[in-house]
Amino acid sequence: MESKKPFYITTPIYYPSGKFHIGTAYTTVAADALKRYKLLQGYDAYMLTGLDEHGQKIETVAKEKGKEPQEYVDQMAAQAKKLWETMDIKYDDFIRTTEPRHEKIVQEIFDYFMETGDIYKGEYEGLYCTPCETFFTETQLVDGKCPDCGREVKPMKEEAYFFNMKKYADRLLEYYDSHPDFIKPDYRKTEMINNFIKPGLEDLCVSRTSFDWGVKVKKDPKHVVYVWLDALTNYITALGYKSDDDTLFKRYWPASVQIVGKDIARFHLIYWPIFLMALGLELPKTIMVHNWIMMKDGKMSKSKGNVVYPELLIDRYGLDATKYFLLRSIPVSQDGLFTPEEFVERFNIDLCNDLGNLVNRTVGMINKYYGGVVPSYSGDKNDQDKDLEDVTLNHKYEFENKMEELQFSNSLGEIWGIVSRCNKYIDETAPWVLAKEENKEKLDSAMYHLVQSIRFVAVLLQPFMPETAESIFEQLGINKPELKEWDSIKEYHTDLKNAKVIEAGKPLFARLDKEQEIEYIKKEMKK
Ligand code: MSP
């Protein structure tokens, strides 16, 4: 393991304020796909997720449920872990901010900042949004309401500690400038600079006295540490930073990719790097900001009755189809949309028609013309074969580039590029005509090329839809592990000797009755 290169991926730690819907699940599904991709490429990939359990919001929700906060978050942690198990998320560690391993280090970090003078005592007066745990100035409000969630803010005044953000503003800008991969996609950097840094970075209030469900400031325990300072440090406390055993920290820090949704970009692209600079630590290589999954009538919310939970889709349509939809539906530059219509359509078109039929037809033809044994290839290719080879390799190359840019939807698009080319290839070569004409050489080559290109599809699909990829390998009779590895698609040709497709191909996805399923999803959403 030591010889493999470390690759550390994090998701944000989630607020356990309610059941996670498909939007919240997105970040973790994306991180999981990235982890699997990096494992496939031979990295020692390590993924962290967890829960952000402190703060007034959680305290309030617990109270509403008639529970002590700790009892409430314990129950939510079990629920979150169960969902990730259902979704087959391969995380390596699950950190909870109420764990002693985290709280102790948060206190030490706060103390350290007090010693260095980065944190100083003052008084805070401002407009506070309780659900977002954030103070705003008058000018930051939108229509007099919280700019992040649109809810009421109320005036608050309290003695508080502040973090000297101003001191680091120039260093942060220089860092942005000299590290073009630090923020992906690039336009988020411009947003940060124009909306927050250029207008002048305010010092950040990093303690609260109005409630006490949080980490106590050791030297002044009537204060609790601001939930964002507490939460952001999870990415290093989970690795044992400043603890007796910091082996993981030494191995995995700085993080390779930290994935966050657009609503929390400011905290991760401004405050987080500044905290790290103040600690004298390296900054993550890349922070990737993704857009949101929206509903026709805006954000998903219980009050609107438009929430879709992952379980609804997984139970009826399977895990892979659910993951596919999530990762395919958010473009790089705008929000994605969930509608029952689009879900069913993508299922029927992308999964059943395009991918499922391709595999099914290929398996069927090899059974029919070759008794199931994939024919060997004489090396005498024609223009159509050559084109299929080039297009397949080219999509694979583009797939790698798009994964490098963390563009998950576009990466899937590249895989489907191979799928479409294969379907077109079947139409062009018309194997049934070749069989009739007894053009053995051309038919051999056509079947061989289809199997190779579909094998590329299956190898590339593994991080996103592992069960589907495995089923394709099985149907094609590709059992050798080395033919499923990343290295096996370095070049187009591999030895397929002894590959025998299964006797009766099974449809990868069963076609859905459109009207019926749209109704079903709508009805379940209302429940
Ligand atoms: N607790 C903070 C993060 C602290 S990290 C140090 C938080 N938690 S959250 O539970 O509200 O959000 C978790 C993740 O879900 C975030 O990345 C957020 O952007 C994402 N999403 C929430 N709703 C979403 C959609 N509708 N679509 C896509 N992602 C969404 O923020």
Interval between CA 346 and ligand 1 midpoint (Å): 25
Transcribe 357-417 into DSSP letters: HHHHHHHHHHHHHHTTBPPP--S---HHHHHHHHHHHHHHHHHHHHHHTT-HHHHHHHHHH
**Ligand 1 pocket check for 324: Cβ under 6 Å:** no
Q: Find out whether 284 and 254 touch, Cβ atoms under 8 Å.
A: yes
Residue nearest to atom 24 of ligand 1 (CA): 23
Task: Provide mean pLDDT across the span 116-124.
Answer: 94
Per-residue pLDDT reduced to its tens digit, 20-49:
999 999 999 999 999 999 999 999 999 999
**Ligand 1 pocket check for 203: Cβ under 6 Å:** no
Mutate to test the pocket of ligand 1, among 9, 10, 11, 14 (most ligand atoms within 8 A of CB): 14
pLDDT attached to residue 2 = 54
pLDDT band at 377 (very low <50, low <70, confident <90, very high): confident
Interval between CA 11 and ligand 1 midpoint (Å): 9
Per-residue pLDDT reduced to its tens digit, 394-434:
999 999 999 999 999 999 999 999 999 999 999 999 999 99
CA distance linking residue 274 with residue 165, whole number of Å: 7
Task: Provide mean pLDDT across the span 106-132.
Answer: 93
Residue nearest to atom 2 of ligand 1 (CA): 14
What are the structural domains, with CATH classification, of the chain? 6-290 (3.40.50.620), 312-489 (1.10.730.10)
Residue nearest to atom 25 of ligand 1 (CA): 23
How far is CA 433 from its chain centroid?
Answer: 45
Interval between CA 309 and ligand 1 midpoint (Å): 15
**Ligand 1 pocket check for 228: Cβ under 6 Å:** no
pLDDT attached to residue 477 = 95
**Ligand 1 pocket check for 327: Cβ under 6 Å:** no
Task: Provide mean pLDDT across the span 98-104.
Answer: 98
Interval between CA 48 and ligand 1 midpoint (Å): 15
Transcribe 414-449 into DSSP letters: HHHHHHHHHHHHHHHH-HHHHHHTT-HHHHHHHHHH
pLDDT band at 295 (very low <50, low <70, confident <90, very high): very high
Question: With helix as H, strand as E and coil as C, how does 208-264 read?
Answer: ECCCCCCCECCCCCCCEECHHHHHHCHHHHCCCCCCCCCHHHHHHCCCCEEEEEHHH
Which atom of ligand 1 sits closest to the CA of residue 260?
17
Per-residue pLDDT reduced to its tens digit, 255-270:
999 999 999 999 999 9
pLDDT attached to residue 132 = 82
Interval between CA 294 and ligand 1 midpoint (Å): 13
**Ligand 1 pocket check for 12: Cβ under 6 Å:** yes
Interval between CA 515 and ligand 1 midpoint (Å): 32
Helix or strand or coil: residue 119? Answer: strand
Per-residue pLDDT reduced to its tens digit, 432-460:
999 999 999 999 999 999 999 999 999 99
Residue nearest to atom 22 of ligand 1 (CA): 24
Spatial CA neighbour of 106 closest among 209, 211, 236, 223: 236
Percent share of the chain, pLDDT over 70: 100
